[in-house]
Amino acid sequence: MRHYQAVLRLDTRNPPGNEHIVAEYVKQVLDKEGIPAQIVGSDPNRPNLIARLEGNGRRRPLLIMGHSDVVTVDDAKWKFPPFSATRDGGYVYGRGTVDDKDNLTGALMTMLLLKRLNVPLDRDVIFVSESGEEGSTGVGIGYLVRDHFADIDAEYCLAEGGGVTRIGGQVKYATVQTLEKIPRGIELVAHGISGHGSIPLKSNAIVHLASAVAKIGEWRPDVRFNETTGTYFRKLAAISPPDVATHYHNVLSTDPKVQRAADDWLLENEPRHSSMLRTSVSPNIFAGGYRSNVIPSEAKATLDVRALPDENPAKFLEEVKRIVNDPAVDVRFTGQNERPAGPDARLDSDAYKAIEAAGTRIYNAPTLPMMSTGATDMAQLRARGVQCFGIGPAVDFEDAPKGFGAHSDQERLLESELHRFVRFNWDVVTAIAGAK
Ligand SMILES: [Zn+2]
């Protein structure tokens, strides 16, 4: 709790980040315990920290990570100041409590305990606190993979992206992120003739763009499953109440009509699950025009595309062009905030089995592999052949809709679940890396 509160109180909102304050704090903690650590970075204000406990080298290393930056805050929305780490009513409040200073603290505590108890290891355990996860990966994982890959290369990695779901205060299931969608922004640029607003033109760029965006909004790309999502929906069906389970079951159906009905239900009621079924497209920026009496010659919309990891980008772009079907509208990738695609972590690996076993032992809960719709720093590692698993503490299902989730106006974690998560983290790491 002391380390958790300490890192929560360090204001690393990104931008600007200033992650050096976390790196320095963690370094000082590790130094005191005699754990070698280095601070590395391309920007002195935004470095990363790498520490390593050596094993006997019988197996390849295990990497455990947490990112040190957090998203920005609107101070006025917080009951307790966002960087106060206030403890109240069994919760700890603060930006980063569930994204990602929970994982950072869990991994740090595991390092300290491994060292204090002098645990014999078959694998090196590498701890990384990386900067820039929230939209500026160039200083963080991008830099680490490019300039320090030898220092972080591992067979397995544990990071953020999974978690344990409580409903009505009861733990229902644990998810492990074994795969994630890949952001591939697309922009639509409509071109027309500019002119006086009093004389409407057929080529009006805003009208063409509006029509293109409307077509995209109606479009639902094909449903496609992979090992992770197939297993996820099958397992979710097995543990859900019958009325909901039917939809999870039916969405896997080979009968297109049955599948479509379940797909409709998910889109309406569980949009996150709908997004897991396909490469999703959400038009999120619409820009054009600057005066009410001027017909603009250009208008632009930006689509947030979250691709299934096996999606062929060039083919998908052609598909978008076919849907837009308007020569006045250019369709192209933005090339911004992209992450590389990589294969899913294997569900038959000893790491996955260890996580599953810890889920049973610590939470008495079934474990579901999950593909996250959002992106994490594991993308860069998966692309380099590291098998990555996203884990996280238990949170109440009801908490995010109340505005206490990751990136929400407020953020909090149950104290008891921080402690349980540290235990889980310890269990998983010792099972994967401990000497057999
Ligand atoms: Zn995060």
Question: What's the CA-to-centroid distance between 300 and ligand 1, angstroms?
Answer: 30
Question: What's the CA-to-centroid distance between 238 and ligand 1, angstroms?
Answer: 29
Question: What's the CA-to-centroid distance between 410 and ligand 1, angstroms?
Answer: 15
Per-residue pLDDT, 370: 97
| pLDDT digits 0-9 by tens, 85-118 | 999 999 999 999 999 999 999 999 999 999 999 9
Question: What's the CA-to-centroid distance between 210 and ligand 1, angstroms?
Answer: 34
Q: Do residues 226 and 241 touch, judged by C-beta distance below 8 A? A: no
Per-residue pLDDT, 336: 82
Kindly state the average pLDDT of the residues 232-257. Answer: 97
Per-residue pLDDT, 393: 98
Question: What's the CA-to-centroid distance between 404 and ligand 1, angstroms?
Answer: 15
Q: Which residues surround ligand 1, an ion (CB under 5 A)?
A: 99-100, 160
Per-residue pLDDT, 155: 98
Kindly state the average pLDDT of the residues 255-277. Answer: 97
Question: What's the CA-to-centroid distance between 375 and ligand 1, angstroms?
Answer: 9
Question: What's the CA-to-centroid distance between 384 and ligand 1, angstroms?
Answer: 20
| pLDDT digits 0-9 by tens, 371-393 | 999 999 999 999 999 999 999 99
| Residue 258 binned pLDDT confidence (cut-offs 50, 70, 90) | very high
Helix (H) or strand (E) holding 131: none
Question: What's the CA-to-centroid distance between 329 and ligand 1, angstroms?
Answer: 35
Per-residue pLDDT, 59: 98
Per-residue pLDDT, 119: 98
pLDDT greater than 90 at residue 406: yes
207: phi then psi, degrees, rounded to nearest 5: -65, -45
Question: What's the CA-to-centroid distance between 377 and ligand 1, angstroms?
Answer: 8
Distance in angstroms (rounded) separating the CA atoms of residues 184 and 309: 11
| pLDDT digits 0-9 by tens, 11-50 | 999 999 999 999 999 999 999 999 999 999 999 999 999 9
pLDDT greater than 80 at residue 337: no
Kindly state the average pLDDT of the residues 298-327. Answer: 97
Per-residue pLDDT, 436: 93
Question: What's the CA-to-centroid distance between 104 and ligand 1, angstroms?
Answer: 10
Which of 194, 208, 202 has the alpha carbon at shortest distance from 331? Answer: 208
Q: How far is CA 90 from CA 166, 167, 278, 409, in A?
A: 15, 17, 39, 19
Per-residue pLDDT, 335: 86
Question: What's the CA-to-centroid distance between 139 and ligand 1, angstroms?
Answer: 15
Question: What's the CA-to-centroid distance between 181 and ligand 1, angstroms?
Answer: 15
Query: What angle do the packed helices 256-269 and 242-250 form, to 10 degrees?
Result: 120
pLDDT greater than 80 at residue 223: yes
Distance in angstroms (rounded) separating the CA atoms of residues 419 and 423: 6
Question: What's the CA-to-centroid distance between 180 and ligand 1, angstroms?
Answer: 13
Question: What's the CA-to-centroid distance between 311 and ligand 1, angstroms?
Answer: 24
Average confidence score pLDDT of the chain:
97
Question: What's the CA-to-centroid distance between 170 and ligand 1, angstroms?
Answer: 25
